[in-house]
Amino acid sequence: MAEVALITGGARGIGRAVALDLARLGWCVAICYRTSASDAEQVVEAAREAGSDAFAAQHDVSDPTAAKQFVDEVRERWGHVDALVNGAGPFHRVDILDETPEGWRDMFANNLDSVFYMSHAVATGMIERGSGRIISFSMANADQLVAQTGLTAHYIAKAGVLVLTRTLAKSLAPHGITVNAISPGFIDSGNMSDGELASVAKRIPAGYVGSVEDAVGVVRFLLSADARYVTGANIHLSGGWGI
């Protein structure tokens, strides 16, 4: 029986790259999206061309009911979930003094609440099977708790992801489930111009911006048998930025 991965934010960027990599490795892949229907369908088509059974569903997993519904859809189709990759993590830049209540709540809902709701939804089935992998994305300097006047809510939510990761790791370890975080720095996921990439590279000790393939490699390791004893970890993926 093929392994099953559920990926939030799988229509674009790192989530997309992870979904397609797992599809090529023979995993069944389910992705969810909020607004990127066309991108999601392209991912599903590419995954199927790679020989994977794949589908996409539109869900706002910052809503606990929607998160559970998505997990239920996956279980109805394939019977179980082997891995959850919490890849969704939108952000906006706004000075803390100009932040709105709506913007503040949105950052927590989509970067932290969604991770809890999705992890909670898959945990029951993973506990019953005695195995599972959960991977979430934070950011490279979130463990330092530094001031972030332009990304405040997003940053606090990402720091929360690290605490949640360690807590879930401790809670789920007795059931054969690992829970880990990946903390990217600057990754070329198609959202920056060549000029922006060149400017950012000057701030990175390694001297270059990472690629989505770098993230894929870390995810692949954490899902592998080689990482069976790795849980509660926070892997920096930043070329030295933010440490």
- Tell me if residue 78 falls in helix, strand or coil: helix
DSSP conformation letters of 132-174: EEEEEE--TTGGGT---SSSHHHHHHHHHHHHHHHHHHHHHGG
- Which three-class secondary structure state does DSSP give residue 179? strand
155 is catalytic: yes
Separate counts of helices (H) and strands (E) for the chain: 8, 9
Contact status, residue 200 vs residue 147, Cβ threshold 8 Å: no
- Give the β-pairing of 83-86 and 4-8: parallel
Which has the closest alpha carbon to 231: 144, 149, 166? 166
The catalytic position among 33, 117, 155, 229 is 155
Which residues have a catalytic role annotated? 155
